[in-house]
């Protein structure tokens, strides 16, 4: 991995190495004319994008443009917001994620999520990892699964002697890696991450980025980030969102540009994208 070139979020386009684009094995998600409403407010309007298999997709854009809102459509977390309503097409392997017979619980077992602020359960490290498998009715050997998962998440060596202690005793960065581990313990296909590093220091951030790159060999990852360098460093494709203000003064989030990360950062086709990534905007 390339070390952070400019941790402060510079005004120039970062010069970093890009991950080579993996071959596409059919899209994981196809999103068409997606709109999300909170009550009467159309927070996100007309989003179209396709997410490839085992790719890392970054979603960037100014605050309030609807990145989290869109991300939460991918595992139906918006179902839990009473006022939220999703319109348009969200297909997962050609199946309508919002179809009538679709069980949101099954959706979330296949499409996991990591949140902005580390939110380990106030349980032991072991129980945090074991939680997902347990609620899913896992039948095998939990001890093995916990070790395997923590090893996978590069956390085993740090915690193997204190599996029974509270997860809240870990540092913020460790907690966040534990949350990632907890997510992969369920063996999802996709991991959604909503600003997973925004509460962490640069070293903890670098560890998470390492982990993401490593996990992308097996998982499809969609990550929301405010850190331009992070998007450039880890992602294959980048989606830039912004918020338009309509005639009535209401803000609607929109997808402005969605392309190979390399292209977004070197030669964006939309002026707003260029302004944003070069720090002149947002």
Partner 1 sequence: MSSTLSSRRAASGSPGFLKRSQPRYGEKVIKVLLVAASLVSVLTTIGIVIALIPPAGEFFSKVDFGEFLTGTNWAPLFKPASFGVLPLVGGTLMVTLIALLVAVPLGLGAAVYLSEYANKRVRKIFKPLLEVLAGIPTVVYGFFALKAITPVLQSIWPAGDGPQIFNALAAGFVMGIMIIPTIASLAEDSMSAVPRALRDGAFALGSSRMQVSTRVVFPAALSGIVAAVVLGISRALGETMIVAIAAGGQPNLSFNPLEGMQTMTAFIAAAGIGDLPTGSTGYQTIFAVGALLFVMTLVMNLLSIRLVRKYREVYE
Ligand X SMILES: Nc1ncnc2c1ncn2[C@@H]1O[C@H](COP(=O)(O)OP(=O)(O)OP(=O)(O)O)[C@@H](O)[C@H]1O
Binding site for Mg ion (CB under 5 A): 68
CB of 235 to Mg ion, least distance (A): 17
Judged by beta carbon, residue 17 or residue 81, the one nearer partner 1 is 81
Contact between 57 and ligand X (CB under 6 A)? no
Judged by beta carbon, residue 43 or residue 159, the one nearer ligand X is 43
Judged by beta carbon, residue 13 or residue 84, the one nearer partner 1 is 84
Strands 190-194 and 111-114, how do they pair? parallel
CA 136 vs. chain centroid, Å, equals: 22
* Site residues (CB under 6 A) for ligand X, limited to 159-188: none
Residue 65 partner contact from Mg ion, ligand X, partner 1, none using kind-dependent CB cut-offs of 5 to 8 Å: ligand X
CA terminus-to-terminus distance, the chain: 28
- Quote the tokens at residue 201: 């220091």
Contact between 43 and ligand X (CB under 6 A)? yes
Q: Which of 31, 34, 51, 69 binds ligand X (CB under 6 A)?
A: 69
Contact between 49 and ligand X (CB under 6 A)? no
Contact between 281 and ligand X (CB under 6 A)? no
Contact between 66 and ligand X (CB under 6 A)? yes
Check: CB of residue 61 under 8 Å from CB of residue 241: yes
- Which one of the spans 25-33, 65-73, 106-114, 124-132 is the region binding ligand X (CB under 6 A)? 65-73
CB of 225 to Mg ion, least distance (A): 10
- Quote the tokens at residue 194: 């909503």
d(CA 238, CA 76): 22
Which of 275, 235, 282 has its CA nearest to residue 51?
235
d(CA 158, CA 154): 8
State the binding string over 81-120 for partner 1 (x if CB under 8 A, else -): -x----------------------xx-xx--xx-x-x-xx
- Which one of the spans 3-11, 66-74, 179-187, 273-281 is the region binding ligand X (CB under 6 A)? 66-74
d(CA 229, CA 240): 14
d(CA 34, CA 43): 11
Judged by beta carbon, residue 12 or residue 117, the one nearer partner 1 is 117
Residues at the site binding ligand X, with contacts judged by CB under 6 A: 38, 43, 61, 63-69, 81, 83, 251, 253
Residues at the site binding partner 1, with contacts judged by CB under 8 A: 75, 77, 80, 82, 105-106, 108-109, 112-113, 115, 117, 119-123, 131-132, 134-136, 166, 168, 179, 182-183, 186
């Amino acid at each position: 991995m390339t070390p952070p070139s400019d941790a402060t979020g510079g005004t120039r386009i970062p010069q970093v190495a890009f991950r080579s684009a993996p071959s596409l094995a059919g899209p994981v998600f196809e999103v068409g004319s997606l709109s999300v409403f909170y009550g009467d407010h159309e927070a996100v309007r007309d989003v179209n994008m396709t997410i490839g298999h085992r790719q890392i997709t970054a979603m960037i854009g100014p605050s309030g443009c609807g990145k989290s809102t869109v991300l939460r459509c991918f595992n139906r977390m918006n179902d839990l917001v009473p006022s939220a309503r999703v319109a348009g097409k969200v297909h997962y392997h050609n199946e309508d994620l919002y179809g009538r017979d679709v069980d949101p619980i099954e959706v979330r077992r296949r499409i996991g999520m990591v949140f902005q602020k580390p939110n380990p359960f106030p349980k032991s490290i072991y129980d945090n990892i074991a939680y997902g498998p347990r609620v899913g009715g896992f039948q095998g050997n939990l001890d093995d699964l916990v070790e395997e998962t923590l090893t996978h998440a590069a956390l085993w060596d740090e915690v193997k002697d204190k599996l029974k202690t509270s997860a809240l005793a870990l540092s913020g960065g460790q907690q966040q890696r534990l949350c990632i581990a907890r997510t992969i313990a369920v063996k999802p296909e996709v991991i959604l991450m909503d600003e997973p590093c925004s509460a962490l220091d640069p070293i903890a951030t670098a560890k998470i980025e390492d982990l993401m790159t490593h996990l992308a060999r097996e998982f499809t990852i969609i990550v929301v980030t405010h850190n331009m360098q992070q998007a450039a460093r880890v992602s294959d494709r980048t989606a830039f969102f912004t918020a338009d203000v309509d005639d009535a003064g209401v803000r609607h989030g929109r997808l402005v540009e969605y392309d190979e990360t390399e292209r977004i950062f070197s030669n964006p086709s939309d002026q707003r994208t260029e302004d944003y990534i070069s720090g002149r905007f947002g």
